């Protein structure tokens, strides 16, 4: 987006924290496959206007998992119902949701759709699993908000944004909603449940 010259040395008058981590896409696909080995067709719900490259990483990882991605766009609020219709017609084995402003604003509706259609849903951070999706894997957003607040404090005390590196997440959480899994007829292995940072019963 041109806001910073690099993560380590922003150089411009902008810094902060970022949740954009493209390589987590392959991990989410691996987790979907581990929980539901039969998955072959995975719907990829995303906003093409959102500045991330999860799509590229997911495309790279999918063939090795014997997975076909079905791309469904959600650019804004007016696209939600048509996106859900497309998902309904596509009848995917799983749903991967790229977290963006528009998908996050519609977490309840998207999760409700997935549950009603018995589609395992994987999201980018805890809110997706806590709302009733099957699993989420991504940064601890509470920790990232705390780090952003620390930067605000430093800047208010005179630090220059150009001298503060853009921070990426260092803590990632796997959250599994075992209750949601049971509701859609999926049995999560005890081994995977043991690896999870949080299990919702």
User: Residue 111's CB: how many other CB atoms inside 10 A?
Assistant: 24
pLDDT confidence of residue 174: 96
pLDDT confidence of residue 24: 87
CA dist 136 and 129 (Å) reads 5
Beta strands in the chain (DSSP E): 41-46, 68-73, 94-97, 121-123, 135-139, 172-177, 198-200
- Topology, domain 24-141: Rossmann fold (3.40.50)
Residue by residue, pLDDT tens for the chain (201 residues) are 677 788 788 887 888 887 666 678 999 999 999 999 999 999 999 999 877 778 899 999 999 999 999 999 999 889 999 999 999 999 999 999 998 888 999 999 999 999 999 999 999 889 999 999 999 999 887 888 888 899 899 999 999 988 998 888 888 899 999 999 999 999 999 999 999 999 999
Q: Which two tokens stand for residue 11?
A: 């150089």
CA dist 142 and 17 (Å) reads 12
pLDDT confidence of residue 172: 87
Domain boundaries, the chain: 24-141
């Amino acid at each position: 987006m041109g806001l910073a010259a690099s993560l380590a040395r922003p150089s411009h008058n902008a810094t902060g924290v970022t949740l954009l981590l493209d390589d987590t896409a392959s991990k989410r696909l691996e987790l979907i496959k581990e929980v539901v080995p039969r998955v072959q067709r995975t719907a990829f719900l995303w906003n093409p206007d959102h500045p991330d490259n999860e799509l590229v990483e997911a495309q790279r990882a999918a063939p090795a998992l014997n997975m076909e991605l079905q791309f469904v766009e959600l650019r804004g609020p007016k696209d939600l119902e048509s996106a859900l219709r497309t998902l309904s017609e596509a009848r995917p084995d799983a749903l991967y949701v790229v977290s963006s402003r528009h998908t996050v604003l519609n977490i309840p509706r998207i999760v409700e759709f997935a549950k009603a259609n018995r589609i395992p849903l994987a999201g980018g951070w805890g809110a997706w699993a806590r709302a009733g999706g099957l699993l989420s894997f991504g940064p601890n957003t509470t920790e990232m908000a705390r780090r952003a607040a620390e930067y605000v404090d430093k800047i208010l005390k005179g630090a220059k944004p150009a001298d503060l590196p853009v921070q990426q997440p260092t803590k990632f959480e796997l959250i599994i909603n075992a209750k949601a899994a049971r509701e859609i007829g999926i049995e999560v292995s005890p081994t995977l449940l043991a690896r999870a940072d949080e299990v919702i019963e």
